[in-house]
Amino acid sequence: MECDVPVRQIHIKPEMTITNLINAMEQAGAYNGGALSRAVQITGTMFKEEGVTRFFGLAGAMVPAGMGGIVTDLMGAGYIDVLVSTGANLTHDIIEAIGCHHFRGTDKCNDIELRHDEINRIYDVYLPNESFIKFEEFMQDVFFKIPDKSVISISDMLAHIGSNLNSGILATAARKKIPVFCPAVQDSMIGLQFWLYRQTHGIIIDAFGDMDRLMDICFSAENAGAFLVGGGVPKNYILQSMLMTPKGFSYAVQLTGDRPDLGGLSGATLDEARSWGKVDEEAKTVTVYGDATITFPLIMAAVLGN
């Protein structure tokens, strides 16, 4: 094995920019600091190279933690061509877009007292029940605007919701005509609100309606890249989409805090994905282990700074 590239010691200087810091981490090249610097390189190439269709996977409670704004900005700047998200992140995106807020709290608390105070906790983020009351009112009104007896796909439903918002992920996607896929939308407050509306109305959601659109995107992609925040359904939905085509992903960056040795998808390495043909043999890939509320902003700040 080669052993001719030395680890360079990092020296912090008062005037350092994020780009300077990432470059220094690249020169050290060790552990997840080195992986983070490689993620900046791969993501930068994926963003700049022409002919790359860029998929973005969003899992975990990222919007409540303030990460939704980065996704919105990336979409607005044209760096995301396809978004696949959990229903929870889109629910919280809607809550923010209708004027409600998530609040900084603490994990050192009495959850029974929070329950009595009608406050929901996401680790150290608090969300009052009144936000869900406003969310329900908004969702029922938005669903009412869909003609009864309609048959629509999940992405069409999300585009309709986004067209009734002025800010956030779904609003930006609707304005920019970026498809948003959420194959597990039932597993969210959006799904519960649609179930409630369907008790007295005849709208049908075609659960497989998005597959044609997704496959068309995959087959027409000259090259494909994936940036995955977390794992779960969004990660698998993105990676498996290329299985029906002759090619896999040419670029893939994964941010995760999960272990690979438990066999779960969220911790599965991108090298493992090569065995399935989801990722090309010669693809540029990297997994960065850590808290995505740290790694995601750092990577994107460095990429956009370059």
Domain boundaries, the chain: 18-305
**What single DSSP character describes residue 208?**
T
Rounded-to-integer distance, Cα 90 and Cα 185, Å: 9
Band of pLDDT at residue 104, cut at 50, 70 and 90: very high
Length of the chain in residues, anyone?
Answer: 306
Rounded-to-integer distance, Cα 244 and Cα 246, Å: 7
Q: What is the pLDDT of residue 261?
A: 87
The enclosing H or E element of 29 equals none
Alpha helices, H only, the chain: 18-28, 31-48, 68-76, 87-97, 111-116, 129-144, 154-163, 169-176, 189-198, 210-220, 232-240, 270-276, 292-305
- Quick one: fold of 18-305? Deoxyhypusine Synthase (3.40.910)
Band of pLDDT at residue 3, cut at 50, 70 and 90: confident
Rounded-to-integer distance, Cα 283 and Cα 111, Å: 46
Report the DSSP beta bridge partners of residue 153.
Answer: 206
Band of pLDDT at residue 230, cut at 50, 70 and 90: very high
Q: Is residue 278 annotated as part of the catalytic site, yes or no?
A: yes
56-84 mean pLDDT: 97
Provide CB contacts within 8 A for 261, sequence distance 6+.
267
Q: What is the pLDDT of residue 2?
A: 65
Q: What is the mean pLDDT of the chain?
A: 95
- Which residue in 99, 103, 104 sits closest to 171, CA to CA? 99
Q: Give the percent of the chain with pLDDT over 90.
A: 92
99-120 mean pLDDT: 96
Rounded-to-integer distance, Cα 185 and Cα 181, Å: 9
Band of pLDDT at residue 265, cut at 50, 70 and 90: confident
Q: What is the pLDDT of residue 1?
A: 61
Q: What is the pLDDT of residue 249?
A: 95
Q: Give the percent of the chain with pLDDT over 70.
A: 99
Question: Does the structure show a pLDDT above 70 at 30?
Answer: yes
| CB 53 within 8 Å of CB 224 | yes
Report, in angstroms and rounded to the nearest whole number, the Rg of the chain calculated over CA atoms: 20
Q: What is the pTM of this model?
A: 0.95
Question: Does the structure show a pLDDT above 70 at 209?
Answer: yes
Rounded-to-integer distance, Cα 29 and Cα 176, Å: 37
211-236 mean pLDDT: 95
Rounded-to-integer distance, Cα 177 and Cα 167, Å: 14
Among 177, 235, 247, 278, the active-site one is 278
Question: Does the structure show a pLDDT above 90 at 301?
Answer: yes
Residue in the block written with tokens 């303030």: 66
Question: b/e map of 264-298 (b: 16 or more CB within 10 Å)?
Answer: eebbbebeebbeebbbbeebbbbbbbbebeebbeb
Neighbours of 159 (CB within 10 A): 18
Q: What is the pLDDT of residue 48?
A: 95
Say whether 260 sits in a helix, a strand or coil.
Answer: helix
Q: What is the pLDDT of residue 47?
A: 96
**From edge to edge, which strands make up the β-sheet containing 82-85?**
180-181, 82-85, 52-58, 223-229, 249-256, 279-289
Q: What's the Cα-to-Cα distance from 289 to each of 96, 265, 266, rounded to whole Å?
A: 28, 14, 11
